[in-house]
Amino acid sequence: MYIHQQKNWPSFTWNAEIITTLVGSVRHRQGRILGQIQTLGFDIQEETMLKALTMDVLKSSEIEGELLNAEQVRSSIARRLGFEIAGALRAERDVEGIVEMLLDATQKYNLPLTAERLFDWHAALFPTGRSGMYKIKTAALRDDIMQVTSGAMGKEITHFEAPNALKVPNEMKVFLEWMEQEIDLDPVLKAGIAHLWFVTVHPFDDGNGRIARAITDMLLARADKSSQRFYSMSAQIQLERNKYYNILESTQKGALDVTEWLVWFLDCLMRSMDQTDEVIAKTIARAQFWEMQKETTFNTRQQKILQLLLDDFFGNLNVSKYAKINKTSTDTALRDLQDLVKKNVLDQIGAGRSTSYQLK
C-alpha cells in the first residue's frame, strides 16, 4: 500500500520532539547566514545570490539527468534580476524556462500558489510541448497512470505508482488549499511536507521533481521572509541523489508518519547551508583578487580563465586546456599564460610537457 492509499491521507504525522529540535537548528543557521550576508558589501551579496540561484537551476535539472549550460543559466538570471556581468550569453528556451520558474517562485514568494501558476511553471519548463523525444501534455494535469520504474524492458521494477489520474484534480485542490492556509506550522517544516506531498501526487506528465523543488524554494523564501537566496537545496539534493530517491521511495511505501523523511529533509537543508560559507569565502576572494588587479590589463581570454580559476576549475591548468576553453591556438594560449606569469598573476609549475599554472 502506498502512502496516498492510506485511510487518513494526507493527514501526516511526525515525532514533534525530534522535528522541533531540528527545525530550531535550521532556523538558527538561517539567521546566522542572513546576518553574515548583511555585513558584506552589495556586490558580494549580489554575486553570492547569483551563484546560489545558478546552482539551484543547474542542479535541479541535473537531478533529472538534464545538463544545462552554466553560463547561459547565469546570464539569464543576471539579466532578469538586473545584475551586470561580463560576457553574458543568450540563453536557449529550455534554460529561460526553468530560470523563469525559479525566479517566479523565489522573487514572488508571497504570491499564492494557484493551479494557474503551476500550469505557467509547467509550460515554461516544456516550451516545445515535448520532454526529449516524447510529446507531453503541458499546462494541464496528467490523464494517465504514472509509475516510477527502473530496469530493462520487460523486467521493470515499479518503485512507486502515483494516485489514479481521476483523483488528481481533487488531490491538487486539497494540496493548494493547504499551501495557503494560515496554520501553525513553521514554513521550513511546511517546505518538507509540501515537497513530499507534491511528488507523491505527481500531477504532471513530466517535470514533477523540478516543480516540487521550486515549491520548496518558495516556502524557504517565505521562511527567510526574503527573496534573496544564499543557499541551494537542489545542489545538496544532487550530491545526495541516491539517498533522496531511496528516502522518497521508502516513505511513499510507509505509513503517514513522515518523521524519517522530515529528518532527512531538514538535515539535507542544514548541509546545503554549510556550502554557503564556502560560497561566501570564494566570493570574497574573487572580489579581493579583482580589487588587487584593478590596474592590470587582461584580454578577454585571460579574464575568462581567471574567472574559472577563481571559481570551480577542475584539475590543473595547462596550455592545451587554456586553448580548448578559449577556442584558440596553443601558441596564443602559451603567450597569454606567459603574460599572466610576467604580470605576477600566475605561478608556473614544472617544465616541459608537465608544465601547469596556478593563481598566486
Q: How many domains does the chain have?
A: 2
- Indicate whether 232 and 338 sit together in one domain: no
CATH of the domain at 316: 1.10.10.10
- Say if residue 99 is in the same domain as residue 230: yes
Residue in 193, 249, 247 with CA at minimum distance from that of residue 216: 193
How confident is the model at residue 300, as a pLDDT?
Answer: 92
Domain's final residue, options 243, 268, 286: 286
Residues 276 and 320 in one domain: no
Q: In terms of domains, do 38 and 69 share one?
A: yes
Is the Cβ–Cβ distance between 111 and 222 less than 8 Å?
no
Q: What is the mean pLDDT of the chain?
A: 92
Q: What is the pLDDT of residue 345?
A: 95
pLDDT of residue 272: 93
How far apart CA 209 and CA 239 sit, in angstroms, is 15
Predicted pLDDT at 159: 85
Asked whether residue 114 falls in the same domain as residue 192, the answer is yes
Q: Considering 286, 311, 331, which residue would you say is the last residue of a domain? A: 286
Q: Is 179 in the same domain as 36?
A: yes
Are residues 214 and 66 part of one domain?
A: yes
For the segment 171-230, what is each residue's pLDDT rounded down to a tens digit? Answer: 999 999 999 998 889 999 999 999 999 999 999 999 999 999 999 999 999 999 999 898
Using one digit for the tens of pLDDT, what is the confidence trace for 239-250? 999 999 999 999
Rounded Cα distance between 310 and 282, Å, is: 7
Residue-level pLDDT at 204: 97
Domain boundary among 254, 286, 318: 286
pLDDT of 313 reads 76
In this structure, the answer to whether residues 12 and 65 fall within a common structural domain is yes
Enclosing domain of residue 142: 3-286
- Same domain for 92 and 229, yes or no, is yes
Task: Judge whether 271 lies within some domain.
Answer: yes
How far is 206 from 357, CA to CA, in rounded Å? 45
- Distance (Å, rounded) from C-alpha 83 to C-alpha 53? 13
Residues 278 and 303 in one domain: no
Look at residue 291 and tell me if it is in a domain: no
Q: Can you name the residues that pair with 130 across neighbouring β-strands?
A: 135
Give the count of beta carbons closer than 10 Å to the beta carbon of residue 156: 11
227 in the same domain as 345: no
The band of 351, judged by pLDDT with boundaries at 50, 70 and 90, is confident
Please compute the mean of the pLDDT values over residues 330-344 and round it to a whole number.
96
Exposed, middle or buried by CB within 10 Å (0-12, 13-18, 19+), for 70? middle
Q: Is the dihedral of CA 12, 15, 18, 23 positive or negative?
A: positive
Q: pLDDT above 90 covers what percent of the chain?
A: 74
- Does 61 score more than 80 pLDDT? yes
pLDDT for 151: 75
CA atoms within 13 A on the CB side of 206: 19
- Please tell me the distance from the alpha carbon of residue 32 to that of residue 58, in angstroms, as a whole number: 26
Residue 31 lies in a domain: yes
What is the pLDDT, as a whole number, of residue 104? 98
Q: Are residues 257 and 348 in the same domain?
A: no
**pLDDT tens profile 76-88:** 999 999 998 877 7
At 314 the pLDDT is 77
